[in-house]
Amino acid sequence: MSNVIHIFTGSRVDPKVGVVPRSGECLGCFTHRMVLAGGCSNGLGWAEHYRLVRARRAVTLRRRLTALGARCDCEVIHEIWQPSPVLWTRDPQSGDLAAPSVLPPCEGVRPGSTKPCSWWVSGASLAL
């Protein structure tokens, strides 16, 4: 386990993963990557970090995510947005659908955007 702690989120981070959003990386893919690497920040720390680094003008991001029901980063990627159904797989034994644990590379978004890329869909509109 890494002993590197992100000063803003308080989460452990593998230095090989890094904490800077990749060029063009969307908020959904970044948050997913950070939650997998360092765990949930028990707040919207990763989302806020993304905003500070990639979308400084999105000053209402925290309020918007909270209004949609997210109290923490994991709820952003499990409640507000979920991986697109095209990425889900069916378990051969049970027949149940399973969300991917690893996503393909981010489809990318325009600079300054806090929207997810096409790999993400609204959790409210996803009916399985």
Residue 127 domain flag: no
Give CA 111 to chain center in angstroms: 17
pTM of the model: 0.83
pLDDT in tens, 54-80: 999 999 999 999 999 999 999 999 999
Residue 20 domain flag: no
Write the single-letter amino acid at 19: V
Q: How many domains does the chain have?
A: 1
- E-strand ranges in 3-93 read 81-83, 89-90
pLDDT in tens, 15-29: 666 788 999 999 999
Question: Distance (Å, rounded) from C-alpha 74 to C-alpha 79?
Answer: 8
Is residue 34 pLDDT above 50, yes or no? yes
Residue 48 domain flag: yes
Residue 53 domain flag: yes
Residue 8 domain flag: no
Residue 21 domain flag: no
Tally of residues, the chain: 128
Range of the domain at 107: 27-120
